[in-house]
Amino acid sequence: MIAFFIKGSAIYFIISILASLLLSVCQMITPRILSVTVDSIIDSKPPEYPHIVRLFGGVHYLRQNLWLVALIALAVRAMTAVFRYLNGYFNSKGAESLIKNMRDLLFDKVLHLPLSWHTENRTGDIIQRCTTDTETIRDFIANQLTRLLNIIILIIVSLICVFSIHPYLALLTLGTIPVIVSYSYFFYRRSSTLFTACDESEGVLSSIAQENLTGSRVVKAFGREAYERDKFMAQNDDYTSKWIRMCRLLSVYWSATDFVAGAQIMLVLICGTVACINGTLTVGNFLSFITYNTMLIWPVRQLGRMISDMSKAGVAVDRIRYIMNSESEPDDGARLPFAGGDIVFENVTFSYGDTMALDNIGFTIKQGQTLGVVGVTGSGKTTLMLLLTRLCLPDSGRITIGGVDIRDIELSELRRNIGTVMQEPFLFSGTLAENIAIASYEPDEKQIRLAAAVACLGRTVSGFKDGYDTVVGERGVTLSGGQKQRAAIARMLMQKSPIMVMDDSLSAVDTETDAQIRRNLNDSFKGSSVIIISHRLSSLMNVDSVIVLNKGKIVECGSPSELIEKDGQFAHIYRIQTKLPAELEEAIK
């Protein structure tokens, strides 16, 4: 999974690893300079590395010029600082490049996941996976994983050095490594489950916050502030309690690790002091041993931390893998261009799980004709639009446009040629002009004003202080329901699509505006095939044909006048909607 995201940033990690190797070499040299200085230059013992000492003038020369020893140590420390800087710089650059690439790919993947996937997953949880989880992975890679090679080198070289100095004392150092690693692995198993629970709880918390922020008007309208506050606080308590358990576990882990490391250092100091008194270990080598031991115990401790943090990163990777492994909208082999023509539903069946939405329906819309769709709530009207735009795929049967199965038409091409106005129009938090022009690649102000005029929005916009530069707010909260619907219609018109689908998109406008919009559409877009889904039959009286749905089946089909004469379900709805108030009250009784 990480290898998939690392493209483009691998070079930075390679440079960081090389700098880490050189850093390890410099760190290994420093203790040897100390031991040679104490034992051979300050004291008179033979140097352990005579050839190297002769390169700098020999023991006698160095004893007379201790400043040179200090300069050598300073040069090594300077190189250590340089390599540490290079390691940190390129490591951070690689981590930031990785996280950017990860966010880009994740966002692109989420955009191409099918509608059914989005309905099954909470928005807040998706956001949390794309933000908090990616940051967790970045932190693990930047702070832990890239240091792995440095840690391994330090451990191996430090062990070699301590065994070369005093084998028996080195066994004491070596004995703590399996203890810390085994201890860390035990906590890794325990913490992985808790990290998963914490992440899932945070996802639920994010979803509650996101729903309340976007639905704030509904919360206020129904006086649900107290209920939503209690709901949030209960989930927040659950999230906090899980993290307290996690922190308690980590505190036990780190305290125990610190105790083992501290006990080991104390024993090394005691045993090393005894060895120096007994003459089996020189002071210089003892100081060098202590340095190497410190360089060994803390990398081992860091390795333990890496194992522990790996559980948190592993949970994050699994949650991101869930998104990346989800199947994108199927578009295999769909490479035919959109040619237009008649729209034909052939024996189409579709269900949402166990709920049948459409049951073996079939009808034809001639090119340039307008079809009205009527039916009670839940009869399958909106599903027709979802299937036509391939937001859903039929369980059986097929849908063709100009004789071509829509599954064989390139997805972006298909949707570019089908303009839709959703039942609940969604506006982004930009200006009104940006929302209208969102479906157009090269919009201009004239086109925006024309589309708004056809949607009967122009006069309304002229009353706004900032006109088309008015910021509509998130989800268009600053606009009324009718204004949002008309803005969505104008947005659809900007596509200039040969097929237009309006899913109950005039329900929030008055009947006069409804009629005017339909007249404007007929005058401006003759030749386009139009599907109008509506509960208001006055919106359908001038369409070419109407289908009436009931429980996923077509129960009536024909022109509006024909259906009124048949005295069926359409005629019944028509009579109810056209009765005078007194007559309607009597009919209800």
How confident is the chain (589 residues) per 10-residue block, as mean pLDDT?
69 85 81 76 71 73 80 88 88 85 88 84 81 82 71 78 82 78 72 78 82 74 82 90 85 80 83 84 81 76 68 81 85 74 92 88 90 88 89 90 88 86 80 82 79 83 83 71 83 86 78 79 78 84 89 90 87 78 48
With CA atoms as reference, report the closest residue to 207 among 129, 120, 124.
Answer: 124
The span from the CA of 36 to the CA of 43, in Å, is: 9
One domain for residues 349 and 312: no
Residue 462 confidence (pLDDT): 82
The helix or strand, by DSSP H or E, that contains position 546, with its residue range, turns out to be strand 545-550
Statement to judge: residues 398 and 429 lie in one domain: no
* CA distance linking residue 501 with residue 343, whole number of Å: 12
Domain boundary among 473, 496, 519: 496
Q: What is the pLDDT of residue 347?
A: 92
10 Å Cβ neighbour count for 412? Answer: 11
Of the residues 325, 354, 374, the one at which a domain ends: 325
Place of tokens 């576990």: 249
Largest Cα separation within the chain, whole Å, is: 121
Instruction: Indicate if 205 and 120 belong to the same structural domain.
Output: yes
| Residues 206 and 335 grouped into a single domain | no
Please tell me the total count of domains within the chain: 3
Radius of gyration of the chain from Cα atoms? 36
Q: What is the DSSP letter of 147?
A: G
pLDDT at residue 566, as a whole number = 87
Walk across the sheet containing 418-421 and list its strands. Answer: 418-421, 499-503, 529-533, 370-375, 545-550, 553-558
Both 245 and 335 in a single domain? no
Residues 256 and 238 in one domain: yes
* 149 lies in the same domain as 263: yes
DSSP 8-state class, residue 431? B
- Rounded distance, CA 497 to CA 30, Å? 74
> Helix axis angle, 445-454 relative to 481-493, nearest 10°?
120
pLDDT at 589: 45
- Pair (356, 405) in one structural domain: yes
| C-alpha distances in Å from residue 512, one per residue of 460, 517, 519, 538 | 15, 9, 11, 10
- Which residue pairs from 155-159 have beta carbons closer than 8 angstroms and sit at least 24 positions apart in sequence? 155/296, 155/299, 155/300, 155/303, 157/24, 157/28, 158/28, 158/292, 158/293, 158/295, 158/296, 158/299, 159/296
Whether residue 471 is found in the same domain as residue 518: no
Cβ pair 535, 376 in contact under 8 A: no
Domain boundary among 265, 290, 325: 325
Q: What is the CATH number of the domain that holds 530?
A: 3.40.50.300
Residue 49 and residue 37 in one domain = yes
| Token couple for 452 | 């708004």
Place of tokens 């839940």: 378
- What are residue 500's DSSP bridge partners? 419, 530
Q: Which of 355, 327, 263, 296 lies closest to 551, judged by CA?
A: 355
How far is the C-alpha of 80 from the C-alpha of 85, rounded, in Å?
Answer: 9
Query: In degrees to the nearest 10, what's the CA dihedral of 178, 183, 189, 195?
Result: -130
d(CA 494, CA 433): 11
Same-domain pairing of 296 and 257: yes
By residue range, what is the domain housing residue 580? 331-417+498-589
The CATH number assigned to the domain holding 23 equals 1.20.1560.10
For 540, phi and psi rounded to 5 degrees? -115, 5
CA separation for the pair 520, 123 (Å, rounded): 38
Same-domain status, 373 and 262: no
The number of residues in the chain equals 589
pLDDT at 78: 92
Q: Kindly list the distances between the CA atom of residue 99 and the CA atoms of 92, 137, 230, 577, in Å, as whole numbers in the listed order.
A: 10, 8, 35, 58
